[in-house]
Structure 1
Amino acid sequence: MNQQRARRGHEDDWWRQLYGDGEGGGQAAAGGVAGRAGVRTAGPSDAGPSDAPDTLDDRVESALRAVRAPAEPKPWEPPVRPAAPPPAPSTPIPLPATGPASRDTAPDTPPSRTAGFVGDRPPTYDPEPGALPAADPGALDDLVPDTALDGARYGSLTLRAASQRGDSARYRGEVRRDALLTARFGAGRQALILVAVATPPPAAAGAHRAARDACAWIGDAVGRSYTQLAEDIRTDHRDALKSGLQRLTDRSYGKLRGRARELGAAPERYTAALRCLLLPADPDCRTRVFFGVGAGGLFRLRDGAWQDLEPATADHDTGDAPGSDGGPPRSAPGLAHGPYTAESPARPAPFLFRAAFARPGDTLLLCSAGLAEPLQEEPDFADRLAARWKADEPPGLVDFLAAAQLRVKGHTKDRTAVGVWEA
């Protein structure tokens, strides 16, 4: 204790000499000033040497303890406050409008909403994802990413595929309902590529599961029969192809009906429009096969112009003969159908089939209704897509997605697009 008291007394002496603070008033202060000038003067507290350690570290530590507390202002050193600068002129802070209705009437449209759209004014919703869908911790495999992107190259063809949530689903925090499957069965020249796009009916609870099931089950059916399917495509056995694919499609829709019963759901709600492409990897085979059920689009970009390849009548092959032009562009009728009852056939709409011969420079486009509708209804939209996709080289994945994201006011559904470029 004596050693600590001696050490504290020595630190106090050192402090008074350094800053002139303590007993003795002006005499201590003068001593402090002289100490700062390098001259040590004796004072009342200078009682001689101390046996306490007196190192540089000790002195620094003492100074740090002292400066942690606010120092009292000296009477002879009153603080001088700098003059405050004149206040800047006040400017009103703009309050951005919120909500979809007010966004269209806001005087200044954010640049993010004016980029990448056609029409007189930008769409109501923001172009980027907003709220995430609600998650169930017990069913995290139900979550679907906002955007899916895939691609491949085999022989003379280059494949690009993208699926994304629509503007409306992004705004409301709903899950993407469109489903996309890209799969390769086999290897080498015998390989067969399947691309499947499924879209469930609107406003059906759990509809995205039905779309995923439809893609998975048609993928399973095609994968088990790909060897014979690839051979029928190479040998142009279209009747066999059509009947075989129709049987596989009906089997997949039968499974959907069974799953609806398991879930206690109405069969007309637990279903999906299903559109598929079969693409042989054999570079010597240029036949591309489309089949499916329900709404969507099948188009071909040839010589800078779009052609609608949708089969004109249900269950009828309007395929192109090898080497032919494939016929003039046509518009496809709707596929409206009545209530889906227990007595209905396995699939909810007529079976569609088409085999098309691909020429170098062609671009084949398979898409869900979310992209097919603006392509058919908005000429500016169709022209912009044609300008982006008619290049000699197929686009990269990011460029393909950027073009597919071109927006049109009033078209807010999920969009799924599959493009096949022919070299």
Structure 2
Amino acid sequence: MEQLQEGLTAEPELTIPEPLVIGRRPMVRPALTGLPDVDLRRPDSELDGADLPGLAVRAASIRGEAHRHLGLTRQDAMGFWQIDGTRLLACVADGLGSKALSHIGAAEACVSARNNIEDLFAPGTSGIQPEVFFEDIADDLMKCAGSKVNGRPVSPEDLSTTLVVALIDSEKLQATLMRVGDSEAMLLREETWTPCFPKKFEESISSSRTHALPHDTGQVEITVVDLRRGDMLLLCTDGLARPMGSELVSAQLGAWWGRSLVPALPTFLWQVSFRAKSHDDDRTAICVWTV
């Protein structure tokens, strides 16, 4: 045993760098201040990914520094599924911060999107019916609201969440995008970002209310994006979309994720964890590269 130990060489200690600070440094240092005291809490962070025929996927959802500091749960949720040999379904949801159980609504909305994927298509036609699809998701949230959590009744408002969904066809190089609320979809092509949904200027200046499921099924937006090899499609909550309004942040993410630079999973989690002053919300990103 002693001879064996003498022959062993100690592995060098690995150090993970602190998250990159982009722009001005936040005043509060990141801290985990205990487990959130909430029903069916979400893990602090999630990390997932896959390399599929024609597509590479990296996904991360992290609790914002404000929620960490206050000991609150992460209200974002995400999910992606391979539907068949060429199509991928990806979802990102953001539970409304003012609702105590919205993290349950966000998680349920993503699962429901997968369960109701067949309702995207009109019977007997090739057309897409996003309204029916989102109504089915809303119905599932309503059923969840009819139950109880730890003996307490849950109302539909308790589960309020935004939802953005992408159905990506790697063979046709096309993405069908649908959403209710302010979660975003953006296309990265040659390190240049382009929003996939048109911004409704008149709504942004007249109301601060965020459309959300299960009630706002009449507010479904849909768009179709043609892709090229080497593009990257991003689905994200406003915890990432808002800091991307800074040219410093969008340029850094473009440098990291442009030119078909698909990171390893630990690297991707570190990249999404960047810090920026005044941006401490939960942050979720699903990146899909056409390769």
- TM bucket (normalised to shorter chain) is 0.7 to 0.9
1:26 is aligned to: none
Q: Does the 8 Å CA contact 1:178/1:199 hold for their aligned counterparts?
A: yes
Task: Quote the offset at 1:262 in angstroms.
Answer: 4.2
* Alignment partner of 1:117 out of 9, 18, 21: 21
Partner Cα distance (1:152, 1:114) in 2: 25
* 3-state SS in 1 of match to 2:256: helix
Partner Cα distance (1:332, 1:132) in 2: 41
* Alignment partner of 2:50 out of 134, 138, 152: 152
* Alignment map for 1:52-201 (pairs within 5 Å): 115-120=19-24, 122-127=25-30, 129-134=32-37, 142-186=40-84, 188-189=85-86, 192-201=87-96
More strand by share: 2
Distance of aligned partners of 1:151 and 1:166 in 2 relative to their CA distance in 1, 3 Å threshold: same
Task: Quote the offset at 1:309 in angstroms.
Answer: 1.6
* Alignment partner of 1:255 out of 131, 134, 140: 140
* 3-state SS in 2 of match to 1:403: helix
Q: Which has the higher contact order (CA 8 A, sep 6+)?
A: 2
Q: Does the 8 Å CA contact 2:134/2:217 hold for their aligned counterparts?
A: no
* Alignment map for 1:327-338 (pairs within 5 Å): 334=204, 336=207
Counterpart code for 1:172: L
Q: Does the 8 Å CA contact 1:147/1:164 hold for their aligned counterparts?
A: yes
Q: Deviations over 1:328-382 (max 9, x none)?
A: xxx8964957699xxx994266111111111122111110011011112x11111
Greater Rg by CA:
1
Counterpart code for 1:126: R
Task: Quote the offset at 1:220 in angstroms.
Answer: 0.8
Counterpart code for 1:119: G
1:397 is aligned to 2:282: no
Q: Deviations over 1:62-87 (max 9, x none)?
A: xxxxxxxxxxxxxxxxxxxxxxxxxx
TM-score computed with the length of structure 2 as normaliser: 0.81
Q: Does the 8 Å CA contact 2:164/2:178 hold for their aligned counterparts?
A: yes
* 3-state SS in 1 of match to 2:216: coil
Distance of aligned partners of 1:339 and 1:374 in 2 relative to their CA distance in 1, 3 Å threshold: closer
Partner Cα distance (2:218, 2:281) in 1: 21
Task: Quote the offset at 1:131 in angstroms.
Answer: 2.2
1:380 is aligned to: 248
1:421 is aligned to 2:274: no
Q: Deviations over 1:353-412 (max 9, x none)?
A: 111111122111110011011112x11111111111114431111222221111111111
Task: Quote the offset at 1:209 in angstroms.
Answer: 0.8
Q: Does the 8 Å CA contact 1:337/1:349 hold for their aligned counterparts?
A: no
Alignment length (residue pairs)? 269
Q: Deviations over 1:186-208 (max 9, x none)?
A: 4x34xx32111111111311221
More helix by share: 1
How big is the alpha-carbon RMSD for the aligned residues of Structure 1 and Structure 2? 3.0
Q: Does the 8 Å CA contact 1:297/1:366 hold for their aligned counterparts?
A: yes
Partner Cα distance (2:54, 2:214) in 1: 39
* 3-state SS in 2 of match to 1:407: coil
Unaligned runs of 5+ residues in structure 2 are: 1-15
1:212 is aligned to: 107
Counterpart code for 1:389: W
Partner Cα distance (1:168, 1:179) in 2: 17
* 3-state SS in 1 of match to 2:103: helix
Q: Does the 8 Å CA contact 1:375/1:382 hold for their aligned counterparts?
A: yes
Partner Cα distance (1:379, 1:273) in 2: 25
Identity %: 27
Q: Does the 8 Å CA contact 1:276/1:290 hold for their aligned counterparts?
A: yes
Distance of aligned partners of 1:349 and 1:128 in 2 relative to their CA distance in 1, 3 Å threshold: farther
Unaligned runs of 5+ residues in structure 1 are: 1-111, 314-330
Partner Cα distance (1:172, 1:416) in 2: 19
Q: Does the 8 Å CA contact 2:164/2:180 hold for their aligned counterparts?
A: yes
* Alignment map for 1:278-357 (pairs within 5 Å): 278-280=167-169, 283-312=170-199, 334=204, 336=207, 346-347=215-216, 350-357=219-226
Q: Deviations over 1:178-237 (max 9, x none)?
A: 011122234x34xx3211111111131122111111112122101x457x58x98xxxx5
Q: Does the 8 Å CA contact 1:311/1:332 hold for their aligned counterparts?
A: no
